[in-house]
Amino acid sequence: MSATFSIQPIGRFTGQSHPVKRPKEFACFSYDENHEFRLDDSSMKYYYTPQLGADLSKGFEKFQKLDDSGDEHLDSLLKTILAHERETGKKIDANVVTWRGMMTKIMAALFEQQDGFEMNATLYQNCIFIEENNEYKRQSRAKENHRGPRRGPPLEVMQYWGISLPPFRFLILLTQDYKNSPPPSPPGYKFETLSTLPKIWAETSREYIENRENQIVNNKEQYCSVVRTGIGKTVLCLGGEVDAIWDSKPQPGQPINWVELKTTAEIRSDHDMDNFHRKLMKFWIQSFLLGVPKIIVGFRTRDGILMDVKDIETHNIPQTVNSRQGARWNADMCVNFAGEFLEFLQSTINDEGVWRIRRHPASPTIEVFKVEETGHGNILSDEFKNWRIKL
Ligand code: A3P
Ligand code: MG
Ligand code: MG
């Protein structure tokens, strides 16, 4: 059993965008500083302007880095959905449940020629659950790490602050053996620590604010929002990390002033600007999917000094990109593509078993085929299945 969805010709996705729903958070969870799950917002961070001139590489040797090489499936998301269903006594109405990161890969596929992906999916009680295929993630990271000597600092350092050339002080780091270090995971964590407070401003000491440069950076701690949203005819439930909040949470159902934090190299030429506009696609998709209205970009020098901070309104990005000559992506087309792909997925994944959703790098198609005839693999926890049977 298999089916293929053609990405090309991309021209067929032009035109007015499919209807989209405003994402609404209906639940949330946190991972504490040891990455233990908590069904609350305890790891939510508050945005507070960082000090310019800060060194994004400072303290890298103390970085408390999450080892995300294991397979977490959809466990935390399902726990949170389950708790919500217990409370309300009814099932959520999503057609598709997944991590925001998976939906970002799908939505970006139209304009991302090089990226491949593999996901596992299963149908359970009229809803498709999609997880990342951990084996694929592991292999692509291993390939990344064995592509011969890379120019620049080790990946881990780049993720800490995002950089392309090794300044002198990285020589020590470069001589260490990184082969056995945990695989890479998401860049710019230092910027997050420099730009946030664990409590609201009024409850934070001046000393803390002024010494954020010396805080130990820990990416095990996370706040995740769980939203109901929609693209075209498909209702989605997405879970994803949000970096910070601008003020504090409003009444339930009201839009939340989330903030996404990003770092990027200073823009010094037209070529840099082209690259930045290309990067804006992922920034936009990621924030659009969870309803994050503001993206705060920290611009750094090539050797990692924070020089400038700019606020970007997520909803202005599509227009900004379109108005520059030679735009390489289009937001409406991303939405139309995602809308049609999700419909294709629902007509294809129509009985039990485990399915694979796969795109080879640079391939013009996405394939969907069955890999296990029965059951739900490890995508769904027993706890979730057992609870759902009763509901
Ligand atoms: P920058 O995006 O500022 O470079 P996010 O911005 O999604 O909250 O992620 C925080 C940081 O995780 C990123 O900072 C980056 O360092 C790292 N990161 C995110 N996605 C990544 C990816 N696909 N590969 C490697 N690192 C990534
Ligand atoms: Mg983040
Ligand atoms: Mg971020």
Which residues contact residue 21 at a Cβ distance below 8 angstroms, ignoring those fewer than 6 apart? 228, 229, 230, 231, 235
Distance from the alpha carbon of residue 268 to the mean position of ligand 3, in angstroms: 22
Distances, alpha carbon 213 to alpha carbons 32, 163, 191, 197, in Å:
21, 18, 9, 12
pLDDT at 181: 37
Q: What is the pLDDT of residues 316-325, one digit of tens each?
A: 999 999 999 9
Whether ligand 1 lies within 6 angstroms of the CB of 240 is answered as no
List, as ranges, residues with CB under 5 A of the ion ligand 2. 241, 243
Dist. CA 251–CA 349, nearest whole Å? 37
Asked if 43 contacts 223 with a C-beta cutoff of 8 angstroms, the reply is yes
Of the candidates 24, 8, 4, 7, the one whose C-alpha atom is nearest the C-alpha of residue 230 is 24
The side-by-side arrangement of strands in the sheet containing 234-241 is 2-6, 365-372, 354-359, 117-124, 127-132, 96-99, 234-241, 222-231, 24-31, 37-38
Please report the atom of ligand 1 found closest to the CA of residue 161.
16
The whole-chain average pLDDT of the chain stands at 91
Q: Is 15 in the pocket of ligand 1 (CB under 6 A)?
A: no
Q: Where are the alpha helices (DSSP H) in the chain?
A: 75-88, 100-108, 134-145, 155-161, 171-175, 189-195, 206-210, 270-290, 317-322, 331-348, 382-390
**183: confidence class by pLDDT, cuts 50, 70, 90:** very low
159: CA distance to ligand 1 center in Å?
A: 6
Query: CA-based angle 357:1:129, to the nearest 5?
Result: 40
The Cα 349–Cα 262 span in angstroms is 36
The yes-or-no verdict on residue 169 having pLDDT over 90 is no
Find out whether the peptide bond into 9 is cis, omega within 30 degrees of 0: yes
Q: Mean of the pLDDT values across residues 300-321? A: 96
pLDDT digits (tens, 9 = 90+) for 329-362: 999 999 999 999 999 999 999 999 999 999 999 9
Q: What confidence category does residue 51 fall into, taking pLDDT thresholds of 50, 70 and 90?
A: very high
What pLDDT sits at residue 177? 34
For residues 103 and 1, what is the distance between their CA atoms, to the nearest angstrom?
23
Q: Give the position of tokens 């400038």.
A: 308
Q: Name the residue of 159, 225, 294 to mutate for ligand 1: max ligand atoms within 8 A of Cβ.
A: 159
Q: Give the mean pLDDT of 95-100.
A: 98
CA angle 319, 322, 326 (to 5 degrees): 160
Pocket test for ligand 1, best of 47, 68, 185 (most atoms within 8 A of CB): 185
CA of 278 relative to ligand 2 center, distance in Å? 19
Average the pLDDT over 202-220 and give the result: 96
277, 70 contact by CB (below 8 A) = no
Model pLDDT, residue 390: 85
**pLDDT of 151:** 52
Identify the residue whose C-alpha is closest to ligand 1 atom 18: 186
Mean pLDDT of 18-38: 97
Cβ–ligand 1 contact at 228 (below 6 Å): no
Percentage of the chain lying above the pLDDT 90 cut? 84
Token pair in block for residue 390 = 């009763």
Ligand nearest to the CA of 262: 1
For ligand 1, atom 19: residue with the closest CA: 186
- Indicate the SS3 state at residue 78: helix
Ligand 3 midpoint to CA 261 (Å)? 4
pLDDT tens digits, one per residue of 110-160: 999 889 999 999 999 999 999 999 999 999 888 877 765 455 566 677 778
Atom of ligand 1 nearest to the CA of 243: 8
- Any atom of ligand 1 within 6 Å of the Cβ of 287: no
Q: If you take atom 27 of ligand 1, which residue's CA is the nearest one?
A: 186
Cα-flanking dihedrals φ and ψ of residue 321, to 5°? -70, -45
Does residue 232 have its Cβ closer than 6 Å to ligand 1? Answer: no
Q: Is-contact 121 349, C-beta < 8 A? A: yes
Contact 350, 123 (CB under 8 A): yes
Q: Best mutation site among 262, 284, 309, 314 for ligand 1, i.e. most ligand atoms within 8 A of its Cβ?
A: 262
Helix, coil or strand: residue 338: helix
Q: 391: pLDDT confidence band, cut at 50, 70 and 90? A: confident
Report how far residue 139's alpha carbon sits from residue 133's, in angstroms, rounded to the nearest whole number.
10
Residue 263 beta carbon below 6 angstroms from any ligand 1 atom:
yes
- Distance between CA atoms of 335 and 317, rounded to whole angstroms? 14
Tokens standing for 135?
């084996």
Q: How does 207-244 read in b/e, with b if 16+ C-beta sit within 10 Å?
A: eeeeebbeeebbbbbbbbbbbbbbbbebbbbbbbbbbb
| Cβ of 184 below 6 Å from ligand 1 | yes
**Residue 99, Cα to own-chain centre: how many angstroms?**
8
CA of 261 to the centre of ligand 2 (A): 7
Tokens linked to 190: 């230092």
Distance CA 4, CA 115 (A): 17
Our CA angle for 302, 307, 312, nearest 5°, is 105
Cβ 78 vs Cβ 94: under 8 Å: no
pLDDT at 176 over 90: no
240, 25 in Cβ contact below 8 A? no
